[in-house]
Structure 1
Amino acid sequence: MFYRPQDDHGLPLNPFSAIVTPRPIGWLSTRGRDGTGNLAPYSFFNAVAHTPPQVMFATTGKKHDRDGTKDTLANVRETGVFAVNVVEVAMCQAMNLTSGPWDKDVNEAELAGLELTECSEIDCFRVARAPATLECRLTQIVELPGPSNFVSFGEVVGIHLRDDCITGGRFDITRFQPVARMGYRDFARITETFSMPRPGEQAE
């Protein structure tokens, strides 16, 4: 099968979101200039640089009560900061609940029954029991082709690691089973890992 994205693929659901998988989920917490908080998951998210550490997230679409975008990007535009919370399998239902098309005044974290705490380096909140949180300062927003498509880049200025997720001097993802986005309504949890040293390297 071959199709051009601008044409009809003829399938019941758009296959594009099921091709680039699994995708990490950036559970973004933001706060507007007026103090209103927002918590929402984004699977168009990833790390993009190591030194200094930097991440990106992409927003697509818009809400009726925001000016051509969604709550997360609107808040980031106002304050220049955001926090990325890692999603573990124990929090997947709460994460899914925060993805709803709630009005900007709705507190998603409260709706999902999550405990929050303040960040250390930025004026924002984070999910207290998340396995890890990246505190980020916005570096740039890039508008992409198409309606309401934006990519935001941020430099990581603070990192929280939950103590029980550190074993043998390493951040151990098997201790909490991270959740990844697959296609459509499908998700996956990571329960097994394996190592492969690069050519010329010694195994750790």
Structure 2
Amino acid sequence: MFYEPKDGHGLPHNPFNAIVTPRPIGWVSTRGADGADNLAPYSFFNAVAYVPPQVMFASTSDKADRAMGKDTVANIEETGVFCVNIVEHEMRDAMNATSASLPAGEDEFIKAALDKAECTTIACARVAAAPAALECRLSQIVKLEGATNYMVLGEVIGVHMRDDCLRDGRFDVTTFNPLSRLGYRDYATVRELFELKRPGD
């Protein structure tokens, strides 16, 4: 099968959602200028550079009570900071609960019964029990093609790691089983690892 997205695919569900997988989930926490906390998952998320460390996520929908994207993007535009919390398998239900579209100013931490911790370098809450959390300073918001598509780029200026996730000097993902997004309503958990040496190693 071949299709051009501009012409449609003719399938009951969009296959593009399932082709680029697995994707890490950026569980992004923000605090608005009014002091209200927000937490939402984004599956268009990744690290994009080592030095300085940088991450990106994209928001692809909007809300009637926001002029720009969703609460997350609006808060980041107001404050210039955000935190990316890493999602483990055990937090899948809480993560999913925070994907609900709530009115602006309503706290997803409370709705999902998640404990908060304050970030260290930025004025923002983070998921207290997350395996890791990346405190970020906004680099830029890029308007992408499409009515509601925004890419947010940030520099990581603070890193939290749960002590039990450190083994032999490494951040060990086998200690918490990272959750990833597949297509449609499908998810996967990383449970099996293997190592490949690059040519010249």
Task: Supply the distance in 2 between the matched residues of 1:174 and 1:15 (Cα, whole angstroms).
Answer: 30
1:14-163 superposed matches below 5 A = 14-163=14-163
AA of the residue aligned to 1:58: A
**How much is the aligned-residue C-alpha RMSD, in angstroms?**
0.6
* TM-score, reference length from structure 2: 0.99
Unaligned residue ranges in structure 2 (runs of 5+):
none
Compute the displacement of 1:11 (Å): 0.7
Cα-to-partner distance string for 1:50-74 (whole Å, 9 max, x where unaligned): 0000000101110011114100000
CA shift, 1:39, in A, is: 0.1
Q: How many angstroms does 1:170 deviate by?
A: 0.6
Give the AA of the match of 1:34. D
Give the whole-Å Cα distance in 2 for the aligned partners of 1:137 and 1:59.
17
Q: Which moved more, 1:64-73 or 1:85-94?
A: 64-73
| Shift of residue 106, structure 1, vs aligned partner | 1.6
**Separation in structure 2 between the aligned mates of residue 181 and residue 44 of structure 1, nearest angstrom:** 9
The TM-score normalised by the length of structure 1 is 0.97
- Deviation, 1:181, is 0.1
**Separation in structure 1 between the aligned mates of residue 53 and residue 174 of structure 2, nearest angstrom:** 23
Cα shift readout 1:127-168 (whole Å, capped 9, x = no counterpart) = 000000000000111111110111110000000000000011
Residue segments in structure 1 that go unaligned for 5+ positions in a row: none
CA distance in 2, matches of 1:16, 1:106: 32
What is the total number of aligned residue pairs between the two structures? 201
Letter in 2 for 1:147: A
